[in-house]
Amino acid sequence: ADTGGEFIEIYNPYDAPVGLAGYTLAIGQNFEKLVSLPSNLEISPKQHLAFYNSTLSFTLLNSSSRARLIAPDTS
């Protein structure tokens, strides 16, 4: 079982930090679970940031789950 050990990781390829205020994670086979990210969250330049299911309460199916990061000005 991987309960508490599943995660979604994003990467900032830029040379400046990126603020994630207003961003949403869409998770699931059809992106049915929406999780708003904290407004004070940012990802440093050239760094990875992981979101764990133990803190955001999501489930990833081993063969069919997907994740999408949605910017605040898109749908």
26-60 per-position pLDDT tens digit: 999 999 999 999 889 999 999 999 998 888 888 88
pTM: 0.81
* pLDDT of amino acid 54: 84
Question: What is each CA distance from 16 to 8, 12, 36, in whole angstroms?
Answer: 21, 9, 22
- pLDDT over 70 (residue 4): no
